[in-house]
Structure 1
């Protein structure tokens, strides 16, 4: 890239970099959004057609439990700081999640 000297020392480069970073961020977010829409649609189709039941039959607890555990532990460092940053929303959500999980055990297994 050629810097134009009449705008000062690298001013055009700064503007170009800012525009490029904004465009790159927008494209990255759009790509992530599209991937989430496609994966969510795939999961809905698998659930509604009953295909997940056939796939889950081949998973033993020795295969499923570590997968779920490591996924949860891998996302812990992302979710808990966000929960702590918005205490007004995060604390009631955490309390209600614990209450519902404990109450569902008592309701489903009397």
Structure 2
């Protein structure tokens, strides 16, 4: 069983879904504009929404990478996933399944040392 996502992991999951949803809206808008030639409204609305969602995703991905200690490779994959349409969805599922959205175990420097009575001078 995979550990429950941390608060940072849950925020990342929501933003990844938002980024993918706005990508889908933009794709539909581009279909309506360039294929059916019916309206440009979808591109106008979802272009702006997706631009904002993309920027938020990048910031949240970097924050999550630092807080959840993903490492360079996972961080680069998370950032690259925002470029092709809808790839943030399978990425989020993979991160959740592998436990990368949960709080990392404390490292050796973060573990409180046993109390040692040091001689006072």
TM above 0.5, one fold?
no
Larger Rg: 1
Greater relative contact order (Cα 8 A, min sep 6): structure 1 or 2? Answer: 2
TM norm structure 1: 0.28
